[in-house]
Homo-oligomer: A and B are copies of this chain.
């Protein structure tokens, strides 16, 4: 039995995607766009398309000469309403790849609902050379093409729907938090919104609903989530958007393990239902310190190996001048390419050049033979050093070893880059592999350099992150040693989410503010109400925010988050379709009590 036809409207009896051989002989009304048109002189064929599918129309002058002649005026992408009869295609014309491939519609009558003028680029066929800016300007046509973006929007809908179901089933409440909120000069920059009623005062758009979700825990909501729009006015890096969407959630009476299990279960469910992929559980876990040590990054791609080996001690007495007398913050690390002994000098020189772009003075190498190192810098290794390095790196005959010795940050950054470069060039990444890893035990604080060159202490995540219980005693005198109850979830080298257990105690919260060198006035002005709220029986709580744009980008194997957003902005935060931002009138500004100040 056919399902209830929910796509029928007063204008159509079916969608183009409904029709197949089971409708044979039926008189139907369908609407859609002219996708492909072939005028064979005696017959006109049109492929009519809507979101749900496409179907072939046939205009036969023998059957209906007036329809055939009217069809000649139809342009590509015009919108049609077609009354016709479903008939079987001739056997040689059957297209088994299409749902409607066994049928065609004999057109009895049709209306041109809207005739399209010539298009800025072809919607059928490839036409892949079209400038990206033209595609952004005509975003609505780019979506109508129906391949990449429409598919991504369908997946996005399904992903968000499934996440909601998972959380609803666990008693999470979806609650909307304000968009017009208060500016808190923390981290990346706020978008400001001038108030007209209260001149010279401003709202700010939220970078995240952090304080609100914590207040909801204080409110007794117990479990909250939101598919939340967030905003960040920063110089846009490679693949960021000024407004982005995160799954924001928070739970009371939990510790870290509860959040990790919840998220793992959610991701497992999502990948199973949406992609029919079984992800491995439990997810890998790695300390922040180990991640930096072994992969040079806190978002290691675990789909391939190529981890780093620390060689400071092994090579501290090297006769190679570069390895000698390591200064403070200097280190030596190596990477082993199993079976890489065949790699050419040219390739290794390319690696060296690329590492140089990231500040590495030189990427050294040796090849491993059964009886010792050869080529590269092999001559600098003593027998003893060779033995130790071989052991540490478990190097075998035929392997290649790479070495970097410089300031630790540069070593990490450049080897991380080289690691990915190698993985790609040597095709070490198995297709359709999904490797999740939790990064744990981040430092609570980090030292950062200010514009004036001074170093200051700053929150690694945000000031509401709780220290690990066992590290609380170091807060006073060794704050940089304190680890936090923060966690990031990393998928295939992309950070897709992060969260923490929060401070639920005013004394510790105030201590953190003071370590961050916030003035009492600033604390009072920005966070006073919140410190105050902590004192009314705040339950232990924690949560996470998952970047949905990036997650869906990965799930759809898109190359940019722009491809999973209906109306994205460019890298310079411009909406090319609407031309936003744009100038406004002097009157509008004067109503706001503002003046342009160039």
Contacts and interface: CB of A to CB of B under 8 A. Distances in A.
Interface string A218-255: 11111100000101010110000011010000011111
Contact of A157 (B173, B211, B235): B173
Interface stretch (A199-207, A369-377, A437-445, A463-471): A199-207
A515 interface: no
Number of copies: 2
Interface string A565-598: 1110100111101111111110011111111111
A507 to B, nearest CB: 11
A388 interface: no
Contacts of A138: 533
A236 to B, nearest CB: 8
A182 B578 contact: yes
A245 B176 CA distance: 9
Given A116-B536, A582-B202, A173 B154 contact: yes
A178 interface: yes
A518 interface: no
Nearest to A12: B253
Contact of A192 (B34, B79, B236, B592): B592
Nearest to A146: B220
A215 interface: yes
Contacts of A176: 229, 245, 565-566
B536 A117 contact: yes
Interface string A498-537: 0000001100000000000000000001000100011111
A9 interface: yes
Given A569-B180, A597-B593, A119 B229 contact: no
Interface residues of A, number: 138
Contact of A254 (B9, B190, B588): B9
Interface in A150-179: 150, 153-154, 156-157, 160-161, 164, 168-171, 173-179
A341 B168 CA distance: 56
A195 interface: yes
A253 B11 contact: yes
Given A119-B536, A179-B243, A161 B150 contact: no
Given A192-B194, A218-B144, A505 B114 contact: yes
A423 interface: no
A591 to B, nearest CB: 8
A7 interface: yes
Interface of A: 6-7, 9-12, 15, 31, 33-34, 49-52, 77-79, 81, 113-117, 119, 137-141, 143-144, 146, 150, 153-154, 156-157, 160-161, 164, 168-171, 173-183, 185, 189-205, 211-212, 215-216, 218-223, 229, 231, 233, 235-236, 242-243, 245, 251-255, 257-258, 504-505, 525, 529, 533-540, 565-567, 569, 572-575, 577-585, 588-598
Given A116-B535, A189-B196, 10 more contacts: A11-B255, A51-B222, A113-B540, A153-B221, A183-B584, A197-B573, A212-B567, A525-B582, A529-B577, A594-B596
